[in-house]
C-alpha cells in the first residue's frame, strides 16, 4: 500500500535568497536520495531557485499558500513541509483534506510571535537552539531532534574563478526609492572601474552572509569596529547583499575601520570565497538559527570566529574549527581582542583531525540519516492514514 509519506511537498514562498533556501534545496536532494518523490512550490518572483540543482524535484510556482487548498483538494494525502508559514485557516483546510502538515522553524522564536506555528501538526527545527526557543514559548509539538543541514556548494553557473564586485543591495521593488536606485545603480557601475578581488597583506576576516537584521551586524560592529581599527593589518571583506537600510546601517557601524573594509556583494561561487579568507566572522547569536555559512566555511577548512553562545556552541568546535569569544556586548570586545591577538600571532590553526566527528555531524550523509530517522518516526502516523482521501 502506498504511504502518505512516499511523497513530500515542500513550500517555500520566500522571494529572497538565504540560508533557508539553501536548506530547502538540500532537503529536496536528501528526499530524492531516500527515494521519496518530492516537489517544491516557490514564489513566482523568486529567481534564485534556478541556481540550486535539485535532481528529481519538481519545482512549481505559487503566488500564495492559500492557493494550495484548491491545488491539493483532489490530490492524494501527502506530507507537506512548509518553510514559510501559511495562515491558520490554510493549514486547517489542508489538514481537513487529510494532509500531514508540518513546518520547519528556520529561526529561533525569542522575541517572535509563536502563534503562526500553532496550527501545524509537527514543527521541525534546524538546531537545538531553535528547539529550546520553541519549548520556552510553550510549543510542545516539536520534533525532539534537530534536523541539522549541511554545506551545499553546488550552484549552477558558479565557477572557481576571480571574484568581482557586485551590488551589495537587494532592492525591494515594492518601494519607490528602491525601484529608482535599482535603475540608477547599474548606470553608476558602468562608469566605475571593475573591482577584482585580490587579497591584501595581513589577516583577512570575511563576512559571507546575507546582510539582514537577524545577523545584527551593526550591533556587533558597534563594539568590534573600534577594536579592529587598532589593527590596520586586519582586513574585513564583506561578501553578501541586503536591503538598503541594512547595508546603510552596517556601513555606518564600520566607520571607525572604513579603510580596512571592502564590499563585494553576493557571490555565487562561495567555495572560492571561503578559500580567500583566513576566518569567517559571524553575526551575533540569539536571532541566528544555525548558520549554514558556518558549516560551509568549516567544510572548506576555513575557521570561524563566533560569539560563545547558542547556536554557535553547536556548530563551532572551539579550538579546532574556530574560536568562540565572549559576547562583545558584555565586555566591549575585550575577549574578541584577545582572540584576535591569538590568531594574528599564529597560535591557532584549523584542526580537521581533532574535529573529524564534529565535521561528520554536518555532512550530507549525516543529513540523509537524520531525515531517514525522521521519516521512520512517522510510521505510527502513517498507519492512521490512507494514501487516498476519503
Give pLDDT tens digits along the chain (390 positions): 456 788 999 999 998 888 899 999 999 999 999 999 999 999 999 988 988 889 999 999 999 999 999 999 989 999 999 999 999 999 999 999 999 999 999 999 988 899 999 999 999 999 999 999 999 999 999 999 999 999 887 764 556 578 999 999 887 777 877 677 777 777 767 777 889 999 999 999 999 999 999 999 999 999 999 999 999 999 999 999 999 999 999 999 999 999 999 999 999 899 999 999 999 999 999 999 999 999 999 999 999 999 999 999 999 999 999 999 999 999 999 999 999 999 999 999 999 999 999 999 999 999 999 999 999 998 787 666 644 554
Task: Look at residue 159 in the predicted model and tell me its pLDDT.
Answer: 60
On whether residue 64 sits in a domain, the answer given is: yes
- Quick one: 10 and 128 in the same domain? yes
- Quick one: 188 and 143 in the same domain? no
Contact criterion met (CB below 8 Å) for 20 and 106: yes
Say which residues have a Cβ less than 8 Å from residue 287's Cβ, sequence separation at least 6: 107, 108, 110, 111, 213, 214, 215, 216
The neighbouring-strand residues paired with 242 are: 169, 211
- Quick one: 300 and 335 in the same domain? yes
On whether residue 167 sits in a domain, the answer given is: no
d(CA 39, CA 58): 4
Task: Look at residue 1 in the predicted model and tell me its pLDDT.
Answer: 43
In the chain, which ranges are E strands?
Answer: 7-12, 37-42, 57-61, 79-82, 100-105, 122-125, 203-208, 234-239, 261-263, 279-281, 304-307, 322-325
Task: Look at residue 238 in the predicted model and tell me its pLDDT.
Answer: 98
- Quick one: 206 and 326 in the same domain? yes
- Quick one: 289 and 254 in the same domain? yes
- Quick one: 257 and 121 in the same domain? no
Total tally of structural domains belonging to the chain: 2
On whether residue 314 sits in a domain, the answer given is: yes
d(CA 153, CA 130): 24
d(CA 71, CA 381): 24
- Quick one: 243 and 319 in the same domain? yes
Name the residue among 364, 298, 322, 372 with its Cα closest to residue 152: 364
- Quick one: 38 and 88 in the same domain? yes
d(CA 117, CA 91): 10
- Quick one: 184 and 322 in the same domain? yes
- Quick one: 187 and 322 in the same domain? yes
On whether residue 165 sits in a domain, the answer given is: no
Phi, psi of 244 (to 5 degrees): -55, -50
| Full 3-state SS string of 56-86 | CEEEEECCCHHHHHHHCCCCCCCEEEECCCC
On whether residue 156 sits in a domain, the answer given is: no
Contact criterion met (CB below 8 Å) for 74 and 5: no
On whether residue 164 sits in a domain, the answer given is: no
What does each C-alpha distance from 204 to 92, 235, 273, 294, 343 come to in angstroms? 51, 5, 11, 16, 11
On whether residue 247 sits in a domain, the answer given is: yes
Range of the domain at 236: 176-360
On whether residue 155 sits in a domain, the answer given is: no
- Quick one: 199 and 126 in the same domain? no
Contact criterion met (CB below 8 Å) for 112 and 37: no
pTM beyond 0.85, yes or no: yes
- Quick one: 340 and 368 in the same domain? no
C-alpha grid cell, residue 1? 500500500
What does each C-alpha distance from 333 to 89, 206, 307, 337, 343 come to in angstroms? 47, 18, 10, 6, 15
Q: Which CATH number characterizes residue 282's domain?
A: 3.40.50.2000
Amino acid at each position: 500500500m502506498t504511504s502518505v509519506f512516499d511523497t513530500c511537498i515542500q513550500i517555500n514562498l520566500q522571494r529572497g535568497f538565504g540560508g533557508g533556501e539553501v536548506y530547502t534545496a538540500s532537503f529536496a536532494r536528501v528526499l530524492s536520495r531516500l527515494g521519496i518523490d518530492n516537489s517544491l512550490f516557490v514564489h513566482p518572483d523568486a529567481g534564485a531557485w534556478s541556481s540550486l540543482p535539485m535532481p528529481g524535484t519538481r519545482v512549481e510556482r505559487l503566488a500564495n499558500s492559500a492557493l494550495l487548498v484548491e491545488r491539493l483538494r483532489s490530490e492524494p494525502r501527502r506530507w507537506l513541509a512548509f518553510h514559510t508559514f501559511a495562515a491558520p485557516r490554510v493549514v486547517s483546510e489542508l489538514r481537513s483534506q487529510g494532509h500531514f502538515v508540518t513546518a520547519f522553524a528556520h529561526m529561533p522564536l525569542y522575541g517572535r510571535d509563536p502563534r503562526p506555528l500553532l496550527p501545524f501538526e509537527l514543527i521541525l527545527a534546524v538546531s537545538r537552539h531553535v528547539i529550546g526557543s520553541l519549548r520556552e514559548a510553550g510549543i510542545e509539538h516539536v520534533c525532539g531532534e534537530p534536523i541539522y543541514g549541511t554545506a551545499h556548494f553546488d550552484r549552477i553557473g558558479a565557477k572557481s574563478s576571480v571574484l568581482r564586485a557586485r551590488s551589495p543591495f537587494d532592492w525591494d521593488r515594492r518601494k519607490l526609492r528602491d525601484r529608482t536606485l535599482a535603475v540608477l545603480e547599474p548606470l553608476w557601475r558602468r562608469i566605475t572601474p571593475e573591482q577584482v578581488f585580490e587579497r591584501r597583506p595581513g589577516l583577512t576576516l570575511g563576512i559571507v552572509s546575507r546582510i539582514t537584521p537577524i545577523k545584527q551586524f551593526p550591533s556587533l560592529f558597534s563594539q568590534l569596529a573600534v577594536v579592529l581599527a587598532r589593527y590596520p593589518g586586519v582586513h574585513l571583506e564583506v561578501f553578501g547583499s541586503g536591503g538598503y537600510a541594512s547595508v546603510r546601517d552596517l556601513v555606518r557601524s564600520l566607520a571607525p575601520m572604513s579603510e580596512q573594509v571592502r564590499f563585494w556583494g553576493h557571490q555565487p561561487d562561495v567555495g572560492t570565497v571561503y578559500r580567500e579568507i583566513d576566518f569567517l566572522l559571524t553575526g551575533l547569536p540569539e536571532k541566528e538559527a544555525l548558520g549554514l555559512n558556518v558549516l560551509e566555511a568549516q567544510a572548506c577548512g576555513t575557521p570561524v570566529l563566533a560569539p560563545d553562545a547558542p547556536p554557535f556552541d553547536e556548530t563551532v568546535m572551539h579550538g579546532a574549527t574556530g574560536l568562540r569569544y565572549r559576547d562583545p556586548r558584555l565586555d566591549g570586545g575585550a575577549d574578541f581582542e584577545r582572540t584576535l591577538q591569538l590568531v594574528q600571532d599564529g597560535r591557532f590553526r584549523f584542526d580537521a583531525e581533532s574535529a573529524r566527528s564534529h565535521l561528520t555531524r554536518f555532512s550530507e550523509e549525516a543529513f540523509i540519516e537524520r531525515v531517514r530517522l525522521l521519516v521512520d518516526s512517522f510510521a505510527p502516523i502513517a498507519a492512521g492514514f490512507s494514501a487516498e482521501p476519503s
